[in-house]
């Protein structure tokens, strides 16, 4: 059986409720343990939003929904669950204790994941009797819509646990990315945090307003990022000569004090070769023109979606179209 029959959720706030929605909408029964007496109501509201979003997202038939119930004790959430997801507050001691308590209550074959945004799994699994069954499974908000989930194994995580977590997440329509080396903040939050730091500096130094910083992202790079990541985007920016050319052209600028994040790796031949080779492999033989056309089709799809909401770049597009049609906006 690919999906568990029943999942135990420890913590049902923003992220736990998002997991409740993703599991329930894929036919998995959900047992939610959260000391907040309002947790079940809140999770029910999140599931309602998720239903609405899924109806807009896909016409594909989903299985009959799993049942959602709140449990009075940790033991009741874990009892009978084939998979356990911890989404309690980001406090290392709390998570560590909660995981150790839940671990003592579940048969050893039940896989546990933690939604932590950046705590190392080796730390979180430290007090578990069966640390091999545990890995980080870091999702993104809203959990029921965004596909990425970073799986980060700790020192004592088994390969079977990583494989099982990936299998379950995939069956929920997600795209698991296994983090190769344990690192604080994993991949996505490290990059988001770098951007966030710079955004805070720009407002702190009164160079831009909050809205200007947001426009600087959402009307340009943010749209490209929805289709292609940083490396793919820069490969195209290197033109026909590709990634190495881009690195040679813009590499030296990384040393200039443009940003507050000026500590950059030395661009050794070894690093340049690695980036170029991996970038070529990522392109899979596609020419820069083919990549540009793929990017453009994706951007048009995103822009059309945003236009239907008349928000962000979609608002800009809607106003532009109205002007073209000679209408007042
Ligand atoms: N908010 C995000 O965007 C985001 C994204 C990815 C991952 N995460 C991670 O997910 C986890 C949860 O974050 P959140 O944003 O849902 O926080 P939240 O504050 O919305 O929810 C935490 C929930 O845990 C409950 N809780 C408190 N003590 C508990 C206990 N002992 N046992 C069980 N539940 C308990 C709280 O009542 C609350 O409902 C954190 O580790 C966070 O880093 C958050």
186-225 pLDDT tens trace: 999 999 988 988 888 888 888 889 889 989 999 999 999 9
- Ligand 1 atom at shortest distance from the alpha carbon of 10: 33
125 alpha carbon – ligand 1 mean position (Å): 18
Query: Using CA positions, which residue lies closest to atom 34 of ligand 1?
Result: 11
Do residues 14 and 30 make contact, with C-beta atoms less than 8 angstroms apart?
A: no
- Ligand 1 atom at shortest distance from the alpha carbon of 33: 33
Residue range 35-46: mean pLDDT, rounded: 95
- Ligand 1 atom at shortest distance from the alpha carbon of 12: 39
Residue range 303-313: mean pLDDT, rounded: 88
Q: Which residues line ligand 1 (CB under 6 A)?
A: 10-16, 33-36, 39, 87-90, 94, 98, 115-117, 138-141
Do residues 95 and 65 make contact, with C-beta atoms less than 8 angstroms apart?
A: no
Least confident of 18-27, 98-107, 132-141, 292-301: 292-301
Is the pLDDT higher at 206 or at 181?
Answer: 181
Q: Please report which confidence band the pLDDT of residue 279 belongs to, taking 50, 70 and 90 as the band edges.
A: confident
Encode pLDDT of 124-152 as tens digits: 999 999 999 999 999 999 999 999 999 99
Q: Please report which confidence band the pLDDT of residue 238 belongs to, taking 50, 70 and 90 as the band edges.
A: confident
3-state secondary structure of 102: helix
Indicate the pTM of the whole model.
Answer: 0.91
Burial of 285 (0-12, 13-18, 19+ CB in 10 A): exposed
Q: Of the candidates 153, 158, 164, which has an alpha carbon nearest to the alpha carbon of residue 2?
A: 164
Rounded Cα gap, residues 38 and 307, in angstroms: 36
260 alpha carbon – ligand 1 mean position (Å): 31
Q: What angle do CA 303, 307, 310 make, to 5 degrees?
A: 135
Residue 264 has pLDDT above 80, yes or no: no
DSSP letter for 173, please. Answer: T
Rounded Cα gap, residues 99 and 14, in angstroms: 19
Query: Using CA positions, which residue lies closest to atom 5 of ligand 1?
Result: 140
């Amino acid at each position: 059986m690919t999906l568990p029959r029943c999942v135990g959720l420890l913590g049902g706030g923003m992220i736990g409720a998002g997991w409740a929605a993703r599991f329930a909408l894929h036919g998995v029964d959900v047992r939610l343990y959260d000391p907040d007496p309002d947790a079940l109501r809140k999770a029910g509201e999140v599931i309602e939003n998720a239903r609405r979003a899924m109806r807009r997202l896909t016409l594909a038939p989903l299985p009959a929904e799993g049942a959602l119930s709140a449990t009075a004790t940790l033991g009741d959430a874990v009892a009978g669950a084939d998979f356990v997801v911890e989404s309690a507050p980001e406090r290392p001691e709390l998570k560590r204790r909660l995981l150790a308590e839940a671990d003592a209550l579940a048969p050893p074959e039940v896989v546990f994941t933690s939604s932590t945004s950046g705590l190392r799994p080796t730390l979180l699994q430290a007090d578990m009797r069966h640390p091999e069954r545990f890995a980080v499974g870091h999702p993104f908000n809203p959990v029921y819509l965004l596909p990425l989930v970073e799986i980060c194994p700790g020192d004592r995580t088994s390969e079977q646990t990583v494989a099982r977590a990936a299998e379950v997440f995939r069956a929920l329509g997600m795209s698991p990315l296994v983090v190769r080396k344990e690192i604080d903040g994993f991949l996505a939050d490290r990059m988001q945090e770098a951007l966030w730091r710079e955004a805070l500096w720009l407002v702190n130094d009164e160079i831009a307003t909050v809205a200007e910083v947001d426009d600087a992202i959402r009307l340009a790079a943010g749209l490209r990022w929805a289709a292609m990541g940083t490396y793919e985007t820069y490969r195209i920016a290197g033109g026909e000569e590709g990634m190495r050319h881009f690195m040679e052209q813009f590499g030296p600028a990384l040393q200039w004090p443009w940003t507050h994040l000026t500590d950059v790796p030395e661009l050794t031949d070894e690093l340049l070769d690695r980036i170029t080779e991996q970038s070529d492999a990522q392109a899979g033989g596609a020419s820069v023109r083919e990549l540009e056309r793929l990017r453009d089709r994706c951007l048009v799809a995103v822009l059309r979606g945003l236009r239907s909401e008349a928000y962000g770049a979609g608002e800009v597009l809607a106003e532009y179209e109205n002007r073209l049609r000679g209408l007042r906006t």
